[in-house]
Each structure stands twice: as structure tokens, then as C-alpha cells.
Amino acid sequence: MTILKKETERKRAQFTQEIIDSIRNVPRYCSFYSHTFNKIAALGLQMKAKSERLFDDEDWSNPTNKDKLMKKIEKFIVKHTR
């Protein structure tokens, strides 16, 4: 039972990291905002993101805000995929 739980936790952590890495590496043809929104929507978390105002209050088009936004996104994803 413990082995299964450890394996599940490891896979969940790997899944979460893959999502975060995917969001961090935005293709040049796509905006950071739309890419992130699509990834969140693909996980079925768009309503939770809306209720937590994940996409509000920040300038998503400013590249200098990306690190701050990534911390916010990582916290959100970890919270909702664990």
C-alpha cells in the first residue's frame, strides 16, 4: 500500500512539473496569457482560476512580470493538482 502511494505521489509531482514547464516554455507564436489560459482550461480548472482571480490584476503582456506570474501560476497548479 505504501509503495503504491509513493508511486502515485511521484507521478503526480512529475505531472505537475510537466504542466509548469509547459507553461514556462511558451511558443513564440502564442501569448503567455492565452497559452497559460489554455493549459489551465485543459486541466478543467478555468472556473477555479476565475474564482481565485488568477488572470486578473497583472500585466500579462509585460515580459518583466513573467517570473512573478509564474510563481502565482505554480502555486495555483500545485494547490489544485495535489
Q: Has residue 1 been placed in a domain?
A: no
Print the domain residue range for 59. Answer: 16-81
Cell digits of residue 23: 507553461
Q: Has residue 10 been placed in a domain?
A: no
Per-residue pLDDT, 65: 87
What 8-state DSSP symbol labels residue 23? Answer: H
Q: Has residue 36 been placed in a domain?
A: yes
| Regions in the chain scoring below 50 on pLDDT | none
Per-residue pLDDT, 4: 64
Q: Has residue 42 been placed in a domain?
A: yes
The domain tally of the chain equals: 1
Q: Has residue 5 been placed in a domain?
A: no
Largest CA distance in the chain: 47
For all residues of the chain together, what is the average pLDDT? 88
Secondary structure of 36-68 in the HEC alphabet? HHHHHHHCCCHHHHHHCCCCCCCCCCCHHHHHH
